[in-house]
Amino acid sequence: MMNSGVSLSDMVLGFFEEVEEQRQEDGNDEDGDGDESISNAMGNRAFWEMEHQLLQEALDRNSSAESRIRRDTEEAVRSIESEGLVCSCLNRMAKEKCRNCFLRHIAQRLRDAGYNSAICKSKWRRSPDIPSGEHSYVDVVVDSKNGKRSPIRVVIELNFRAEFEMARATLEYNSLVGRLPEMFVGKSEKMKNVVKIVCAAAKKCMKDNKMHMGPWRKHKYMQSKWLSTPERITPGPLVPAMAVTDRPPKIRASMLTFDLHCTAVEVV
């Protein structure tokens, strides 16, 4: 019996890589073209069925702590929607600054609700495989009940599904990504499993489309966003709404699909 979805995902991906290698080795055998096409179609279908199963199993694993934090985070989002986002940045039109303000509001409201919440800023260096980068999100650290185990870290990514969307993707990949939550709230181990599964799907999607896979789509890059050791920043006091004289217009779109002031860019 497998210990986790990641191990099974590795086996599935390895199997299809072996099939592809064997197909290339037998590529000169013109007599079997019809059978090969059928075999490839069956293998392709099996791969995506397995990916859907693995993803659903990973997403369905929820502890009471995760469910409670998700509920309170959604409540914080709804509260900010109704009140309007108060931006305290010096340059209130800066895209990244406005996003940081939103994260500050979420983290502070969770702290007000009694959670050990903070803004996490991860940074990673350039390597031969991926470019350097940085990413900000929110987390909550929950102490174990008996105090003997290590604290549990719950990752909160407000725009999770959009992180994996890409232009000119296959229907199979889009269907898989469509099952991701718009907002991810889960333990770091759960995040690790989900990222591994979707990145394996992205790799096959690019291969099927005969397209180069950008380094920002690779598993190592995506993993660095949420699973590298971040700088954990406790948010300061929020700026009262009355103190802001040029408050920006209230955002009409749901912040559960949060993408403040950003223009869609086609990326593959």
Q: Where are the domains of the chain?
A: 64-246
| Residue 98 binned pLDDT confidence (cut-offs 50, 70, 90) | confident
CA geometry: angle at 141 spanning 140 and 142, to 5°? 115
Residue showing tokens 């105090």 = 147
In angstroms, the CA 53 to CA 125 distance is 34
Distance of CA 254 to the CA centre of its chain: 18
In angstroms, the CA 195 to CA 55 distance is 9
Q: For residue 30, what pLDDT is reported?
A: 46
| Residue 263 binned pLDDT confidence (cut-offs 50, 70, 90) | very low
pLDDT tens track for 207-250 = 999 998 889 999 999 999 999 999 999 887 665 443 344 444 44
Give the residue from 228, 202, 227, 226 showing the smallest Cα distance to 215. 202
Instruction: Point out which residues pair with 184 in neighbouring strands.
Output: 157
In angstroms, the CA 79 to CA 128 distance is 44
pLDDT tens track for 151-200 = 899 999 999 999 999 988 999 999 999 999 999 999 999 999 999 999 99
pLDDT tens track for 111-160 = 999 999 999 999 999 998 899 999 999 999 998 777 677 889 999 999 99
Cross-sheet strand order for the sheet of 152-157 = 184-187, 152-157, 133-142, 116-124, 231-233
Q: For residue 35, what pLDDT is reported?
A: 56
